[in-house]
Amino acid sequence: MAAIKRSALGRGLDALITMEDLKTGGSSSISEISLSKIQPNPDQPRSMFEEEALEELATSIRSLGVIQPITLKEIGPDRYMIISGERRYRASLKAGLEEIPAYIKTAADEHVVEMALIENIQREDLNAIEIALAYQKLIDNYELTQEKLSERVGKKRTTIANYLRLLKLPAEIQVGLKDKKIDMGHARALISVQDPEIQLALYEQILQDGLSVRQVEELVRNAAEAAVPEAKDEQPKKKLLPEEYNLLKDHLSRFFNTRVNLSCNEKGKGKITIPFASEDELEKLIMLLDKLKR
């Protein structure tokens, strides 16, 4: 089986052979179940199924069949609900199959959601927000602490905590993470910013300038340093850059033909950051700097 998984039969095959599927204790045998008798689990944590990936999986199924059975729970006479394997179920429909191999799992109703959530998390093919929502649902439904949840799903407690913190971000940023406009590193950098308006402003800047995770972390650090008041000050004071600094920043932005970030504290210390989106842009910046030496 492992040899088949490593062969060059296409990415869709990985979803056919899933060794991390739920243990099937209590299931006596594999049955061929009509697809018309199966319904998805409404508490399925994955909300997005990429059409291209499903087509690839359907192609593999037409060629090889469904190698790893899905897992079902009987919910009525000749009616079943998916516990795990919804991608294989959807791809089998696309492939024109009438039946699919399945384990019939004996599980109490209150355990079906937990089993589906944990199975999907263990497969690690959810996006970051779906994983965070799945963790939160497990905590809420089963009154688990993060420590207990880490034992249940086999993840470090700090990993679970980092995912749950994503749910505190503004909705627009959560959607951007879900749609892969930004990645987990960007989101984690934004979490450390307390003001939602600043978070959204930084998010827009990431999209506009194609900022790397390291650049965002630097911007967040600069913003934090600028917001720290002097020790002798009784009340924190939020000050804008003096007008001359804004003029200088605009001048540099026009000269380099790109956005220039400038931060400065009350003591006059600061940084000038010139972002670039590619090696070509970096070379152009270097050429401009070389001209200044002449």
Rounded to whole angstroms, the Cα distance separating 256 from 116 reads: 53
Give Cβ neighbours of residue 137 (< 8 Å, ≥ 6 apart).
43, 45, 113, 117
Q: In terms of DSSP H, where are the helices of 41-108?
A: 51-64, 86-95
Exactly one of 86, 114, 130, 218 is catalytic; name it: 86
Q: Phi first, then psi: give them for residue 276, nearest 5 degrees.
A: -140, 150
86 is catalytic: yes
The residue written with tokens 């959530």 in the block is: 117
First and final C-alpha spacing in the chain: 66
Q: What 3-state DSSP class applies to 28?
A: coil
Q: Which residues on neighbouring strands pair with residue 100, listed in sequence order? A: 33
Q: Specify whether the CB–CB gap between 89 and 68 falls below 8 A.
A: no
User: What is the Cα–Cα distance from 200 to 191, expressed in whole angstroms?
Assistant: 11
Task: State phi, psi for 66 to the nearest 5 degrees.
Answer: -90, 110
DSSP assigned state of 132: H
Give the catalytic positions in this structure: 86
